[in-house]
Amino acid sequence: MNQTPANEPASWLDSVKWDAGGLVPAIAQDRQTGRVLMVAWMNREALAETARRREAVYWSRSRRKLWHKGEESGHVQAVHEIRLDCDADVIVLQVEQRGGIACHTGRESCFYRVLNDGAWQEVDPVLKDPQQIYGAS
| Residue 43 bridge partners (DSSP) | none
In whole angstroms, what is the distance from residue 112 CA to residue 70 CA? 19
Angle at 9 between CA 6 and CA 14, to 5 degrees: 110
The DSSP symbol for 108 reads S
CATH T-level fold of 11-100: Ubiquitin-like (UB roll) (3.10.20)
Q: Note the pLDDT tens digit of each residue in 113-124.
A: 999 999 999 999
* 132 contacts: CB under 8 Å, gap ≥ 6: 106
Q: Where are the domains of the chain?
A: 11-100
- The band of 1, judged by pLDDT with boundaries at 50, 70 and 90, is very low
pTM of the model: 0.88
Interstrand relation of 119-122 and 113-116 (parallel, antiparallel or unpaired): antiparallel
